Structure 1
């Protein structure tokens, strides 16, 4: 059921889901026929990273494969931080969730005998990635689920609103403060609700180079942290090694499945540089490949994806999305090499949740990339993110369905954050540049210290809530990266390059804790201050 901003009442007994990506849509459908209000800043199906996912969904559905093998692969690449029970549980629920998606109309590829066709991606020991037309899984899944949501009478869809604060009463969720996404100067709207599911996506747009849509700016992470939620593993940010380097923002993605089909990584001299870095070469875990690509670019040799021999004229048919991105940039991938660079792609950290998707705040659940379940550890296995999103969306729906929710609370008299306004573009650009330079693929202590002071000052002095939320999320990532004095998974410290066994523990932190870290460090010279002037 479609609705509009102006028809939104100040109180609802509905379950409120914030986010129109895979986790939000799937959870809303699984809650039917219970009443749901689904709030999306962008038009439904747009503005979600899941819609852009090219790889597919990892699921042990092929003959000879097992959930146990899938979980073992997940654990092997997670840098010693994967919750093994969580990984196995997700792998075992993959089959039923794939069948749910089929029932909602997702046209997964099939082989000549009608079975689900499966491909292989980096660090998987078997072919277990289900696709849609090679590289169109995300778009096809979101399109099918969006249609299903619009056909479901119990789901009210409100487009064009962004959540900017959680309302808390006696330690429990009492509602949300919302604002028009396209009119940030408009007066905020308050909505009283006792059950809120955050499915707002990741933090990619905190970085100068990212494959994520504009909406992935860490807003959900920030509002949960500001409300007092425990945040898990924020330092672990995965950089996709093969974003197409053609000056676009966000950067087009060259899916990992290309390398699964035999495409290679070369530098400007034609050398396959990953052969000397890892036994699996191009199919090594993403963090290792990303650092390999980063090193070639930093050394001035450049990095390129070469699919000429592996795919050639079959490229357009096998990977139409990547092909279209290349052609739009003036590159024919059948005959030319593709320039690439690492790009912020996926956040392993997020709002800490338990096996049912519950956060540390009563009445607040989180699913998809904004959450941290323990499934990914320090480094996500390829194509596990869409699987985690649907598994936890279903678990959240089951958990909420079994509850009797209290009536909505009385709304507060004062706004949580009255200031709106469009974030200053120059300050946003500087924040993103600082994240890429100091909290990116390779990190070190002095750079992280600089970043911490910038973000802490910006969080205090920001003139808009949207900018403040970006600074809050950036501060969470930078402070946790500064605190982890080792290299593990996607977190690489040039000044602490070794992995330290004693530090094989997940990070559990809070906004108060990371503010204390920033305040404990010596202040920077005054010359650094113009970022927030």
Structure 2
């Protein structure tokens, strides 16, 4: 059911879930029949990165594959900072979560014998990716779960609201401040609650080139950080190497499964440039492929995805979503190579959570891309994101299920933050360009210092809370990237191109620490021997 955004009430012990993507929907369904208020900024099924996921879900569901092999692949690409127990736990729960999704009507592809059909993607040692019509898994999963949510009477659905502040009292959740999406001048709405699940997605739209929807602007991470939550691994941003460059924002994605089916990467001279960069060539880990694509573009040779020989006329049938994006841009992928570039795609960092999805703030859970579980380390293995989202959504629901949620007390005062006025389009453009130019695929100390100073100024001077939240999250990413004086996984610094074994640890930081770095950089240049804020 759906309530009017100006007039909705809740029972005292009701759980509030913020986010209408995979983690939020699945958690709400897993909590049934316990009362839940599900708040979605966009109409359900829209505005969620999970709905755009083309690859599928990784799960060891075939003979000869095991959760242990899946976990080993996850650990191998994670830059030596994957929490191995977390990776193995997720892999072991994968089959059960796939069956949950099947029970909700997700039409995963089957082979001729009726078994789940599986594909292979980069850095997986086995074919273990379950798909829907080749490249439509995300959309199909969100459609099925959205329909299930609308049918579930215990879920109160409120669409069209954005969470812009988390209210706390004595270190615990006390409420949320919300506002109508796209209505900066509208008065804020304040909701008392002692239990919040943030499932607001990632940060891709902080970058000028991204595959993520507009709603993926880091707001959930920002409101948790502003409330004092510990943030983990914010410097690790994964850039998908094959965004289709046809002048669209967000950029359409050419799924990694294309390379799994034999498509190659070539430059403008027709040369396969990944052969010289990694033994797995096009199927190397995403960070390596992204840097390879970036280097060809920087050298002026351009980069292209070539599926002409591997798929040819079968392209439209095998990958209808990618085919439609290409045709709309005047490219026939059966006959032409597709122009590509790296794009901000997935954030390995986020709100630090434990194995049950609990954050450092009492009464606050986080699931999906807004969280950081330790499963991905410095570089996410392909198709592990949707899996992590459903596994942790189920764990959060299980953790909450046996709890008695205290009745909300009187709402505390709202935290000091900008509120009124329309977003400053120039400030948003400046922020996104700065993130792509200085905190992107290849980084260096001077560029990161410039970014930290600029982003701190945008956050400090923002007159609109949405822009302030974007700047808060961007500052956390840039400050942690500046502080990590090495290259690891998706974080590559040209001035520190090697990994430092002593720094093979996850980052644990706060907004206060990021602001202290910004203050130090504004006062004087910090010595290059300064150590990262890792723990």
Q: TM-score range by the shorter chain?
A: over 0.9
SS for the counterpart of 1:3 is coil
CA distance in 2, matches of 1:124, 1:422: 45
CA distance in 2, matches of 1:253, 1:229: 32
Please name the residue that 2:315 is paired with.
Answer: 315
Alignment TM-score, normalising by the size of structure 1: 0.97
CA distance in 1, matches of 2:413, 2:168: 13
**In the alignment, structure 1 residue 428 sits paired with structure 2 residue 432:** no
Cα distance change on mapping 1:10 and 1:324 into 2, 3 Å = same
Residues 16 and 39 in structure 2, CA contact (< 8 A), matched pair in contact too: yes
Cα distance change on mapping 1:443 and 1:271 into 2, 3 Å = same
Unaligned runs of 5+ in 2: 526-535
SS for the counterpart of 1:374 is coil
SS for the counterpart of 1:6 is coil
SS for the counterpart of 1:342 is strand
Please name the residue that 1:227 is paired with.
Answer: 227
SS for the counterpart of 2:221 is helix
Residues 12 and 406 in structure 2, CA contact (< 8 A), matched pair in contact too: no
Please name the residue that 1:362 is paired with.
Answer: 362
Residues 308 and 336 in structure 2, CA contact (< 8 A), matched pair in contact too: yes
Cα distance change on mapping 1:240 and 1:466 into 2, 3 Å = same
1:258-297 residue pairs with structure 2 within 5 A?
Answer: 258-297=258-297
CA distance in 1, matches of 2:416, 2:151: 35
Residues 165 and 416 in structure 1, CA contact (< 8 A), matched pair in contact too: no
Please name the residue that 2:208 is paired with.
Answer: 208
How much does 1:421 deviate? 2.5
1:324-363 residue pairs with structure 2 within 5 A?
Answer: 324-363=324-363
Q: What's the CA shift string for 1:416-444, capped at 9, x where partnerless?
A: 54613321111101100000000000000
Please name the residue that 1:390 is paired with.
Answer: 390
Please name the residue that 2:155 is paired with.
Answer: 155
**In the alignment, structure 1 residue 103 sits paired with structure 2 residue 76:** no
Residues 71 and 84 in structure 2, CA contact (< 8 A), matched pair in contact too: yes
Residues 167 and 415 in structure 2, CA contact (< 8 A), matched pair in contact too: no
CA distance in 1, matches of 2:277, 2:454: 35
Q: What's the CA shift string for 1:292-336, capped at 9, x where partnerless?
A: 000000000000000000000000000000000000000000000
1:19-98 residue pairs with structure 2 within 5 A?
Answer: 19-98=19-98
1:418-497 residue pairs with structure 2 within 5 A?
Answer: 419-497=419-497
Residues 11 and 192 in structure 1, CA contact (< 8 A), matched pair in contact too: no
Q: What's the CA shift string for 1:28-63, capped at 9, x where partnerless?
A: 000000000000000001000000000000000011
Please name the residue that 2:410 is paired with.
Answer: 410
SS for the counterpart of 1:5 is coil
- Which shows bigger deviation, 3-12 or 491-500? 3-12
Residues 10 and 192 in structure 1, CA contact (< 8 A), matched pair in contact too: no
Please name the residue that 1:135 is paired with.
Answer: 135
Residues 49 and 212 in structure 1, CA contact (< 8 A), matched pair in contact too: yes
Please name the residue that 2:528 is paired with.
Answer: none
Alignment TM-score, normalising by the size of structure 2: 0.97
**RMSD, matched Cα:** 1.2
**In the alignment, structure 1 residue 520 sits paired with structure 2 residue 524:** no
CA distance in 2, matches of 1:330, 1:129: 30
CA distance in 1, matches of 2:244, 2:273: 18
Residues 331 and 338 in structure 1, CA contact (< 8 A), matched pair in contact too: yes
Residues 480 and 514 in structure 2, CA contact (< 8 A), matched pair in contact too: yes
CA distance in 2, matches of 1:510, 1:485: 18
Cα distance change on mapping 1:34 and 1:176 into 2, 3 Å = same
Residues 423 and 466 in structure 1, CA contact (< 8 A), matched pair in contact too: yes
SS for the counterpart of 1:7 is coil
Please name the residue that 1:246 is paired with.
Answer: 246
How much does 1:402 deviate? 1.3
How much does 1:12 deviate? 4.5
Residues 200 and 370 in structure 2, CA contact (< 8 A), matched pair in contact too: yes
Residues 13 and 404 in structure 2, CA contact (< 8 A), matched pair in contact too: no
Q: What's the CA shift string for 1:184-219, capped at 9, x where partnerless?
A: 110000000010000000000000000000000000
Q: What's the CA shift string for 1:211-233, capped at 9, x where partnerless?
A: 00000000000000000000000
